Amino acid sequence: MIQPGRPVDEAERVAALRALGLLDTPSEERFDRITRRLAMTLSVPIAYVALIDSDRQWLKSKAGCMESETPRDLSFCAHTILEDEPLVVPDARLDARFEGNPMVTGEPYIRFYAGYPLATADGRNVGTLCVADQKARDVSESDLKGHRSSGSRCKRIHPNRKQMISPRLICLSHPKKFCRHPRRSLS
């Protein structure tokens, strides 16, 4: 297992995350709706929105998993935020970053993982939109397209918390109205 590195702007990234005021808050239907929909669309048992704090991964929304937080050093998502592109792991047992991870060798026995980084308006990756499965999976272009679609629609986390929890983040039904200025395009 290889522990995730830290972004060069870690202090500013954590400050931006905390300024959102979302850590340790109750679940919200607007987030829960996207995780349920993504799990159903991709036929995976686990989907979640994770926020990566200084020493933990905290789940703002989750479908199919029990834990609300895990240590950052064990988090797949802590690897995801290091890049601006999705991280796809077809079989975690065969990936040096995760092969000895307790979440792979024990509950929840993650094999497949796909995570999409979520960024603040100023471009700091503070979280992820993720799916996972206990079975290894080959990722089809159709699967990636569905994940990219959901991820691109909730790509930007706005510095104003009211904007953050509005449909500007979870903009499934009106992406052109709410996501006019995507930071990066994966399509």
Within-domain flag for 183: no
Within-domain flag for 5: no
Per-residue pLDDT at 182: 34
Within-domain flag for 1: no
Asked whether 17 and 121 are in contact (CB, 8 A), the reply is no
Q: DSSP characters for 147-176?
A: HHHHHHHT-EEPSSHHHHTSTTTS-SS-HH
Per-residue pLDDT at 143: 55
Within-domain flag for 4: no
Which residue stretches of the chain have pLDDT < 50?
147, 149-153, 155-159, 161-187
Within-domain flag for 186: no
- Full domain range(s) for residue 83: 10-178
Buried b (16+ CB within 10 A) or exposed e, 14-25: bebbeebebeee
- Nearest Cα to Cα of residue 112 among 61, 15, 60, 42: 42
Within-domain flag for 185: no
pTM, whole model, 2 decimals?
0.79
Q: Say how many C-beta atoms besides its own lie within 10 A of residue 26's C-beta.
A: 5
- CATH number, domain of 37, equals 3.30.450.40
Which residue carries 């522990």 as its tokens? 3
Within-domain flag for 160: yes
Encoded amino acid at 96, one letter:
A
Per-residue pLDDT at 141: 63
Within-domain flag for 85: yes
Number of domains in the chain: 1
